């Protein structure tokens, strides 16, 4: 948690503002220039000499806003200068600006008419934490997953070209996102089409190696200069008739670039590569971008930035300050409260299980696509580095890699978010399940994820997992069950998935001993005398138990979505007037659908109520509030069951 701040001293603008903050402002900073910006057109009316002050004011306001609202933090601080430069030099929204992933979009939102609304970011009915097309015309493409920006921007550029529109298109992509195959697929196609596309590689030094210094900056300025570009293109025309001479000039240029540029890969693909330049030097940024704005064909500008720039603690710990919670003011009088034992997060349960099992079995391999911290694998990576593989943002590769390891007798465990597993669905089928390879999936962030919203919601996994032959799928209801089901899945000879939610569970005691649970077997938690049986899957079991106390209903913790506990479902149908399925997942195709299919196959006719999420995307807000809104808290479950029972009872006299 960042320190509570003392108000940041500012002045009327006659003196430069503080550029590096050590505290997050608790009161709104003085931002006279920023207050004049209602849209980027206002920004473009400023003289270039004001841009430095604009950068400082924007960074100060961003710190204040995120402190008030919480949200993504370090990425936005790192692109303040770049955001100002892009909106200053390009005619947005006519010119298209596409942000990759979108964690860095807060400065963009502030400059595009949402300065006051940014205080509602990630709150229910407030601004999204990511670019969102329905929110603003300046948000040209909705994102949340990585590595899509170049593909989307290329599509826009080609679409504009076909329509005869001269608009410019810019994609901003990070060095981490650049590791994904889709980015290079898009670049290859862009080179083939020769589209007018500018790709900005925002390199925060967390993936791609350094090659900076005076000489590098000097040559970057040369290569982006109009004089050099004119000479280069003119030389091509003149020397193309003399192959030997042109070959000598070309090889000389390449040799010079090789000495000072990080990589010639982009040139080999077909992009004109410029850089690296300092992404926090607003003068250099504007000068370079002004030249590149009018260049034809695919261009790539490589900028170095610092994640968390301008806030000292974030610069020192960019991972820890990726996002922060809302800063609450300290109470004037603090009353001592007895400390409550802190429940572990599900990701921590997974991480501890992984370490415990790794000590027992040397065959275990841990794999994650760039989610070490988020998936709880930090301790495993430290203790078992030779058995830990972070493959970067390459979800498809992570699954096929695991399949290859399984072919050699290893026991790979893939830790992956539910929403990111969607990106590797083909590999799940073709490279793992089709060959019945022994791969275990720890699927984190299943169900609603709260403030991250629809792009990160894990509400489709049951539907796409249970249709795949050879897969078994478990949904634990508490922390200990998660540990034991992970162990059960790992022992299973074939592909197995355990899906668990974000955050903490109900606080169940976690047994140190790992015990295999019977595959496809549920447990009855409450035997009621009422008319309803609640078949609960995963995270909704606690809410089901609470509702059942009011209904005197039976509650079954189903544990397994595939295979279903056939005997338990049929027994519940035989003993009760109403079978209710509960899941933190889309109703369509989910666990409830599986129960329906089983009953139909068995020829059992019984009223069934499927409770789950509706057929529309659910946007950001507190997880508990969103569940309540969709009738999946205890009160909502009770109300839905009572309504259905009333309908059934009202219809009884009319039955034949």
Hey, which residues are catalytic here?
Answer: 307, 395, 423
Tell me which H or E stretch contains 441.
Answer: strand 440-444
SS3 string, 593-612, reads HHHHHHHHHHCCCCCEEEEE
E strand or H helix at 300, and its extent? strand 298-304
Cis peptide before 120 (omega within 30 of 0): no
Q: At what angle do helices 634-651 and 541-551 cross, to 10 degrees?
A: 50
Cβ proximity of 55 and 286 under 8 Å: no
Would you give the DSSP letter of residue 124?
T
Give the pair of three-digit tokens for residue 338: 């007895």
- CA distances in angstroms from 562 to 225, 331, 375, 475, 546, listed in the order given: 62, 50, 24, 10, 26
* CA dist., res. 531 & res. 523, Å (int): 19
- Residue 578 backbone phi and psi in degrees, to 5: -140, 130
Q: Are 564 and 594 in contact (CB under 8 A)?
A: yes
Query: Rounded to a whole number, what is the distance in angstroms from the first to the last CA of the chain?
Result: 65
Q: Which two tokens stand for residue 34?
A: 């920023």
Report how many helices (DSSP H) and strands (DSSP E) the chain contains, helices first: 25, 19
Looking only at the bridges linking them, the beta strands covering 440-444 and 411-417 are: parallel
Name the nearest CA neighbour of 25 among 75, 54, 65, 69: 65
Residue 295 burial by Cβ neighbours in a 10 Å radius (0-12, 13-18, 19+): middle
Give CA torsion, residues 20, 24, 26, 29, to 10 deg: 30
């Amino acid at each position: 948690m960042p320190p509570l701040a003392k108000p940041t001293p500012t002045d009327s603008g006659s003196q430069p503002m503080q550029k590096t903050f050590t505290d997050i402002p608790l009161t709104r900073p003085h931002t006279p220039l920023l207050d004049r910006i209602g849209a980027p057109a206002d920004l473009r009316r400023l003289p270039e000499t004001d841009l430095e002050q604009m950068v400082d004011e924007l960074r100060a306001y961003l710190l204040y806003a995120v402190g008030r609202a919480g949200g993504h933090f370090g990425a936005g601080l790192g692109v303040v200068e770049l955001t100002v430069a892009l909106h200053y030099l390009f005619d947005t929204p006519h010119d298209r600006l596409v942000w990759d992933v979108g964690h860095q979009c807060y400065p963009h939102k502030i400059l595009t008419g949402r300065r006051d609304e940014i205080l509602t970011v990630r709150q229910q009915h407030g601004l999204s934490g990511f670019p969102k097309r329905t929110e603003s015309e300046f948000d040209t493409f909705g994102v949340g997953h990585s590595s899509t920006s170049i593909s989307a921007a290329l599509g826009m550029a080609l679409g504009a070209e076909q329509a005869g529109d001269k608009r410019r298109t810019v994609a901003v992509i990070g060095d981490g996102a650049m590791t994904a195959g889709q980015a290079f697929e898009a670049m290859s196609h862009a080179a083939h089409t020769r589209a007018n596309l500018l790709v900005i590689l925002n390199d925060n030094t967390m993936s791609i190696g350094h090659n900076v210094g005076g000489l590098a900056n000097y040559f970057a300025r040369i290569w982006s200069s109009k004089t050099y570009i004119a000479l280069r293109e003119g030389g091509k025309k003149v020397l193309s008739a003399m192959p030997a001479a042109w070959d000598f000039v070309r090889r000389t240029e390449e040799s010079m670039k090789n000495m000072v540029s990080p990589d010639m890969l982009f040139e080999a693909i077909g992009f004109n590569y410029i850089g690296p330049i300092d992404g926090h030097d607003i003068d250099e940024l504007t000068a370079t971008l002004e030249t590149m704005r009018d260049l034809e064909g695919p261009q790539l500008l490589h900028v170095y930035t610092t994640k968390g720039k301008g806030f000292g603690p974030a610069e020192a710990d960019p991972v820890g300050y990726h996002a922060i919670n809302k800063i609450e003011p300290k109470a004037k009088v603090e009353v001592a409260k007895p400390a409550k034992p802190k429940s572990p997060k599900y990701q921590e349960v997974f991480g501890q299980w992984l370490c415990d099992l790794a000590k027992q079995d040397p065959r275990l391999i841990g794999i994650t696509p760039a989610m070490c911290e988020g998936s709880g694998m930090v301790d495993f990576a430290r203790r078992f580095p030779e058995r830990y593989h972070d493959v970067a943002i390459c979800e498809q590769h992570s699954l096929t890699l695991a399949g290859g390891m399984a072919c050699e007798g290893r026991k790979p465990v893939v830790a992956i978010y539910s929403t990111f597993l969607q990106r590797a669905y083909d590999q799940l089928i073709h490279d793992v399940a089709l060959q019945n390879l022994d791969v275990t999936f720890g699927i984190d962030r299943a169900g609603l994820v709260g403030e991250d919203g629809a792009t990160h919601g894990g509400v489709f996994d049951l539907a796409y997992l249970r249709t795949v032959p050879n897969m078994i799928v478990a949904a634990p209801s508490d922390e200990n069950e998660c540990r034991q089901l992970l162990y059960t899945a790992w022992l299973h000879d074939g592909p197995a998935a355990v899906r668990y939610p974000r955050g903490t569970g109900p606080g169940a005691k976690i047994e140190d001993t790992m015990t295999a649970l019977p595959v496809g077997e549920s447990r009855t938690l409450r035997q009621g005398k009422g008319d309803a049986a609640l078949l609960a899957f995963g995270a909704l079991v606690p809410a089901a138990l609470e509702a059942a106390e009011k209904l005197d209903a039976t509650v079954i913790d189903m544990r397994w979505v595939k295979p279903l506990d056939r005997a338990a479902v049929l027994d519940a149908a035989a003993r009760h007037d109403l079978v209710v399925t509960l899941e933190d997942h889309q109703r369509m195709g989910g666990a409830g659908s599986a129960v329906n299919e089983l009953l139909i196959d068995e020829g059992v006719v019984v009223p069934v109520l499927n409770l789950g999420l509706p057929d529309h995307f659910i946007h950001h807000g507190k997880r508990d509030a969103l569940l309540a809104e969709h009738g999946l808290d205890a009160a909502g479950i009770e109300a839905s069951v009572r309504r259905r029972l009333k309908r059934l009872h009202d219809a009884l006299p009319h039955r034949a």
